[in-house]
């Protein structure tokens, strides 16, 4: 799996958009970008994933650069409940055309996002 680089911590004012960057300069063509978050003392929560097109769901938007070497997770109107550690992960999800993909998720240390009232 390609390695990712994220800032250690970020603050965002409540009600503003939170933009969390992730660098994955060694990403390969068949690797997807996944985002998870982990609220204190809970299990990780899936947020969104994408390959090369921008994606949006009810939780967030994912913007992937054209060269796919970086991406940004956007929480459009951050609330206090969005305070969490956010993990950016790149992987080939199973099943790949050649059989199994990379089954496990490889987490880094993530970005600790604090929403300020």
Partner 1 sequence: DTGVSQDPRHKITKRGQNVTFRCDPISEHNRLYWYRQTLGQGPEFLTYFQNEAQLEKSRLLSDRFSAERPKGSFSTLEIQRTEQGDSAMYLCASSLVPSGSLETQYFGPGTRLLVL
Exactly one of 10, 14, 23, 44 binds partner 1 (CB under 8 A); which one? 44
Q: Is residue 87 a contact point for partner 1 (CB under 8 A)?
A: yes
How far CA 77 is from CA of 28, 83, 86, 96, in Å, comes to: 32, 12, 16, 35
Residue 30 lies near partner 1 (rule: CB under 8 A): no
| Sequence-ordered alpha helix ranges (H) in 1-117 | none
Q: Tell whether residue 7 is a contact of partner 1 (CB under 8 A).
A: no
CB of 116 to partner 1, least distance (A): 22
Residue 46 touching partner 1 (CB under 8 A): yes
106 binds partner 1 (CB under 8 A): yes
For 23: left if phi > 0, alpha if psi spans -120 to 50, otherwise beta; the answer is: beta
What is the distance between the alpha carbons of residues 42 and 52, in angstroms, rounded to a whole number?
A: 30
Q: Which is nearer to partner 1, 3 or 77 (CB)?
A: 3
75: helix, strand or coil: strand
In the complex, the residues that contact partner 1 under the rule CB under 8 A are 32, 41-46, 49, 85, 87, 93-95, 101, 103-110
């Amino acid at each position: 799996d390609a390695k990712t680089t994220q800032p250690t911590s970020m603050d965002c004012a409540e009600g503003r958009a939170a933009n969390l960057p992730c660098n994955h300069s060694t990403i390969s063509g068949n690797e997807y970008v996944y985002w998870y978050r982990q609220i204190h003392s809970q299990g990780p929560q899936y947020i969104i994933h994408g390959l090369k097109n921008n994606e949006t769901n009810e939780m967030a938007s994912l913007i992937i650069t054209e060269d796919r070497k970086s991406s940004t997770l956007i929480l459009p109107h951050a609330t206090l409940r969005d305070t969490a550690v956010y993990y950016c992960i790149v992987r080939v999800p199973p099943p790949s055309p050649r059989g199994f993909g990379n089954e496990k998720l490889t987490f880094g240390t993530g970005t600790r996002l604090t929403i300020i009232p």
